[in-house]
Amino acid sequence: MSVESAAAFYDRIENDLALMGKLKELGDKERLVLYVKNELGYDFSREEMRKVLFERNPELSEEELQSVVGGAGGNGGYDGLSVANVIVTAGL
């Protein structure tokens, strides 16, 4: 697991609308984890993604960041934070 993998994944989901849609469609935690790790080749922990989220979104307050990391964030739109929310919620 690595922060580099989390950062690379975050960069990819920010720029790949088709992938963001696919991840949201998977929905199920187990399917999502398997897809991201086995199909896409990314391996990172919740804490590593949290670090990337904070670095890429310094305007987030600790409370807002915790909301995303805790799975309560996300506005349903296709943006990096909403999909990262899906990933973090899945516990990757």
Query: Mind giving me the DSSP string for the chain?
Result: --HHHHHHHHHHHHH-HHHHHHHHHH-SHHHHHHIIIIIS-----HHHHHHHHHHH-TTS-HHHHHHHHTT----SSSSHHHHHHHHHHHT-
pTM, 2 dp: 0.70
CA–CA separation, 19 and 78 (whole Å):
10
**Domain limits of the chain?**
3-90
Q: What is the pLDDT of residues 49-73, one digit of tens each?
A: 888 888 887 877 767 666 655 444 4
Q: What φ, ψ does residue 72 adopt, rounded to 5°?
A: -95, -10
Identify the band that residue 78 occupies on the pLDDT scale cut at 50, 70 and 90: very low
